Amino acid sequence: MAGERTKLTVAVRERLGSRESRRLRRAGLVPGVLYGRGEPIAISVPERELRRALSGAGGLHALLDVEIDGAGKTRPSILKEYQVDPVRGGVTHVDLQEVRLDQPIHAVVTVHLVGAEDSPGIREGGVLSQPLRELNVEALPLEVPEHLEADVSGMGIGGTLRVGDISAPDGVTLLDDPETVVATITSPTRPVEPEEAAEGLEAEEGAAAEGAAEAPAEPEAAPAGDESDAES
């Protein structure tokens, strides 16, 4: 399950603004906000610590025990939103949401397709596609799954797997439309063999030559007569 708890120590930001945020980033800190039942708290967190907390087994759905300024008391929180530098790729801002462990939350989890090697459609050369890769779920913070598995082992060519076909763990509710398509297996596009391509080209050339042979010849221009003949 993704509800593994990870401790994350943060510091309160006394100064705000874009200049202060840039200063924090240069110092290896990520500015952010902790939202809770009271007023939002402006915080900063070491980028290494944040990366460590969100790269464990729980990933982006890890339950974070947030400790502010080393006070000892922790606040169960989840990652609400984050921003990434489009060039360097590092996290530039993070929003955390304090949660209650006895109240369900909404989360987005990835969908992993399993059983593809046993699918009759794939064995026959079909093409497996996955148009939906994430699902919205509702569960208690400690019960949010790391991912959901969708079994495609029974799908043949032309088969479709929908959200309603996915089995969710106990305590987890799928929020997406049950008719939403998750995966399909379609017939493969048959490539044109070189021999077929050559035969088609020869047929086109033969038809063109035959058409040219049947076309009526244009009349030749009559030779110009002598000036004396023209005058007589």
Q: pLDDT (tens digit, 9 = 90+) per residue, 17-58?
A: 989 999 999 999 999 999 987 899 999 999 999 988 888 666
On average, the pLDDT of the chain sits at: 83
Query: Average pLDDT, stretch 5-24?
Result: 90
Question: CATH code for 5-98?
Answer: 2.40.240.10
Query: What's the pLDDT score for residue 209?
Result: 54
Among the listed ranges 7-16, 84-93, 146-155, which one has the minimum average pLDDT value?
A: 84-93
| Mean pLDDT of the 4-25 span | 89
Distance, in Å, from the CA atom of 127 to the CA atom of 163, rounded to the nearest integer, reads 20
| Domain range list for the chain | 5-98, 105-186
| Strand partners for 174 | 137
In tens, the pLDDT along 173-202 reads 999 999 999 999 999 876 545 555 455 555
Highest mean pLDDT (candidates 59-63, 105-109, 151-155, 203-207):
151-155
**Cβ contacts of 76 within 8 Å, gap of 6 or more:** 5, 63, 64, 65, 66, 98, 99, 100, 101, 141
pTM of the predicted model as reported, rounded to 2 decimal places: 0.69
* Domain 105-186 indexed as CATH 3.20.20.100: no
